[in-house]
Structure 1
C-alpha cells in the first residue's frame, strides 16, 4: 500500500510540474486556463504554487479586459494540495479527473448547475465527511469519484430516491441522506386555511430554519419551495408538492309532487358541509337539479337528479339523499255517449266523453275497462233505454263523476222479396211465395202484424216471357220493410215433333220427309208454327244399303219449343242382270278373243270354263280373253255375284266352237323357219338365242341354237311367242 501511495505521489508531482507550465493566467492566487468555445469561460487549474487552506473560487474573473465565467475545475487542479475547504461558484458545471484527490477538505457544497464529476475527483479525501448537493438534478459520476474511505461520508440531497437512480450514484445509495422528510401525507382537505406541514430535519448535526412563501389554501395541486437554512450556513431550496382536495358538500333533495298534466314544481334542496362560514355564494353557478318528468309523464315516482358539475373551486357536491317527484292522478268526469242500434243487433261497444283530460289526451287509456249497464238486450223491442257506467281504472286519471247516456233501438231493415217462379204457356198462375231477408231473434213471417200480398200482369193466355211479381202490404213493429220484385217466367210449351219413317231401293233418290205434332194448348194447331222444321239425312242416292236417321230441326213458334223424334230412312238392295251380245260359234285355233259380257249394276263379270282341250280363259289388266288352241266345242259361263248393294245376277252361258286354223303364224321377220310337232317347237336355221314367251309376256324358255335344227320341248299345250334374230312367231301347241 505504501508503494502504491509513493507511485501516486510521484505521478502527482510529475503532473504538478507539467501543469505549472500549462496555465494561461493567474488572478488573486488562482490559476486559469481559457476554455475553447464562443463564450469566454475558464477552468481552474494548478499553477506555480500549491494551493493551501481555504480556497474561494469566484463565479467570474477579468483578465486583460476580458471577463471570463468560471465553469470547470480542471483535472488535478487541487490534487495533493494542502487545502482544507473550498467554495465552489454557482456557475460551475464540471469537476475534472483527480481534481481534489488527496486533499484535506472536510465538506463541500455542489452548486445547482454541476452536471459532471470526473474519475478519482475526490479519491483519498479521508477527511471529507459531508457533501451537500443543491441541485434538483444530480451530476453524472465517472468511475471511483469518491472511491476510498466513503463509508463514514454522507451525501445530502433534496430527493434521495431520484439521486439513487442517477448514473453511478447507486454505488453510494446507503450514504445518501435527504435534507428533509415531510412527515404527513401531501394530501389535505380544503378547510379555508393554509394547511400545516410537518417535517423531519435529517441533518442532525445542524439546526434548521424552514421558511416558505405563497403556501396555497384553495383546492388543487400546488408546488412551493421551502427555504432551508442550516446553522452551518447552508441554504437549500427544497420543493414541496401537495394537493388540497375539495371539501365534500352533501346535497339533500326535498320530496315534491304534482297532478298529472301540470308543469313541474320548483325543486328544492339542503346543502351541508360548508367550512369557514362559507355558503353558496362561492358557487360559480347555481346548483342544478333535474328530473326526467314532463307534463305528459305518467303517474308515478320520478327520481330528482343532481347535476354533479364542478360548482365551486373548493367544494365537491355529492348526493346525500335522493328526492322524488311524485305525479298524482288527475280528476276527470266520464259521460256515456248516446248510441243507436238496430232491433235484434247486439248492444254496441259504448263510447265515452271525458271532461278534464290533460296534455291533449283523447282518452284516459284504461287499464281496467268501465262496467256498462243497460236493460236493453238483442231481443228488446224498438225504444229508448238508459245506459250507465261505473268502475274503470286509468293510469293517469281518477274518475270522480259518471254521467249516463241513451241507447236508441230502431227498426231493423227487412226485405220482402217475391219468390220468382216458373210455369209453362197455357197454365194458370200458382199462389205466390215470399223470401224474407233480415229477420232477427229467430223471428219469422208470423212476427208480422200483416202478411204480404203480390200481383202480376201474367194470365194463362199470356205469351211466353218474363213478368214482374210485385209484393206489397206487409206490416211489423220492429222492422222497416222494403220490397223486391220477383219474376214470373212463362216458358214455352213443348211440342213433340215426330218424323215419319220411309224406305227406298239403292240408287233411288230420297223421298219427301214428313213430321206430325202433338202438345198444342189453348185449342191451337200447326198454324202457330212460324218456321217449319228442316230435315237432315246423311244418306244420298248412292249411299250403301242400310238404315239412316232423319233429323228434324229449326222449327220456331212464339209459345212453343220443339222436342224432335227422329225418323228412319231404310235403303234396300237393288236387282241386276248380265248383258252379253257376243257370238263365239266360229272361232279359229290360235285366236285370242276378248269376252264382252256386262252387268247392269256396272259390277265386274267373272267367267267360268270347265276342263277342256279347246281353250283357256285368262285376265289381263281387268279384261278377260279366250285363248283358243284346240278344235272342239265347250260352254263358257258369265256371272256376277252381287255385293252389299246388289243382289246376284242370273248367269248366262254361251257355246264356244273352235275350228282348225293355221298352227304357225309369222308375226315378224323372214327366216329362220319355225314349226311345231305336238308339244315340240322346231327352229331351223337359228343363228341367235331363242326365247319363248307365254301370252302374258313371261319368259318360259331361253335356249341357245343347237346346230341347224333346234328342238324345244314344252311342258303343256297353249299359245306361245317364239323370238329369235329380230323376228317373232306365234305357235299353238296341242
Structure 2
C-alpha cells in the first residue's frame, strides 16, 4: 500500500489531505524446456530424462501419465511395452515464481522386430514328420527377460509318408507363444523352413542254399528276404553270384559266399540298401550205380564178373556180397554191392542190390542104386532104407539135410560125376546144414559148409 499527502499554503483555512493507493504485485512466471526422444523401440535401454526448469530453481520432476512405462530414480524412464508413453515434466513455484506449466511429451515405442525361422530338418522316407523341428531367431533379439515357450508348425500338404526321398517340403511356423513377455511387444516375421526326405534303410538278406557236388545251381533272383520295405514298394529281383554255383565247386571249399550285386523293383530309390551275403553249401554227391538183374545160373556155378558187373557214374571200387567165387546154396539170393568212390571228398559211398538171382539146380543130385536120381539129398534120404548108399554128384549141392530115421544107417558118398561115375579125388560140398536127429549117417567124400 502506498500513501500520498498533499501539501498547500499554510495558514488559516488551509488543510492537509492524505490519500492511500494499494498495488498487487503478481509472481513471476517460469517455463520448462523438456525435449526427450519421441520414438523408441521396445527393449531399448532406459531413457535418462532431463529438462531445464525456470528461475525458481526448483527441480523438474517427471511422471508417466499414460502408456507402457515407469519412472525410477526420479529421471529414468523404463519402457515396459510397445505403445505411446506420455511423460510429463513438472516444476513447482516459490514466493516469487509460479509453478511452471506441465510439459507432456509423447514417446512412441515401436514393437521390437524379430524374425523367427523354422529350422530345416530331415526325416526318413515313410516316417512321420517331426512334431517340433525347432526354430531360430535369424534377426533381432528378444528383450531381456522375455522368452518364447513354443512355436507351432505346419507342414506342406505334400509331406506325406509316401513323399519320395530327395524331395523338399516347406515348414511354416505358426504364432509364437511367450512364456515371459508379450507377443504384442514384437513385430515378428515368420520364415518357412524346409523338410528334406532322406532314404530309409532297407536290408536285403540272401537266402542260404545247398546243392550237390557236380550239379550247377542257377539263381532265379528270388532267393532273398527283405527288412524295411515301406508303403507298396517291392523288390522283385536281386542279381547274385556265387563261386559255389558251378557244378565243379568242391565240397571242401564250401560254404561259398552268395554275393548280391543289384536289386530291381518299385520305389527302391527311396532306400539306402544294404546287403547280407548268403552261403552256398556243397554236399557230397551219391554215385549212381547201374546193375541189372543177372541171368539165372546153374547150381554149382561160382559167382563171377558175369553176375557181379555193377557200374558207377564215377571211378571207384566195388565190394560185392557174396564175393566172386561164392557158390550160392539156395535157389535164390540177393546180391549186394558197396561202392567206394575214388574221390571221397566229393562223393559218398553207395550201395545197391539186385533182385534175387534164381539158381537152377542140377536135374540129378543124388541116386540110390539103380533107382531114378533125386533132385536133392533130402529127397534121396527120405527114400533110403537101412544100409542104403546115396551117391551125390557135383562139386556143390545146395540144401539142408535132416536125418531122422531111427535104427537106420545111411551112407552118403560124394564126388560122383553127372553120370554117377565115382571120382575118388573129388568131394561134394553140401551148401547148407546137416542135422542128425535119429539113426546113423556116414559121410564119405562129403564136406558140409
State TM-score, norm by structure 2.
0.36
Which protein shows a greater Rg? Answer: 1
| Greater RCO, 1 or 2 (C-alpha within 8 Å, sep 6+) | 2
TM-score of the superposition, structure 1-length normalised? 0.24
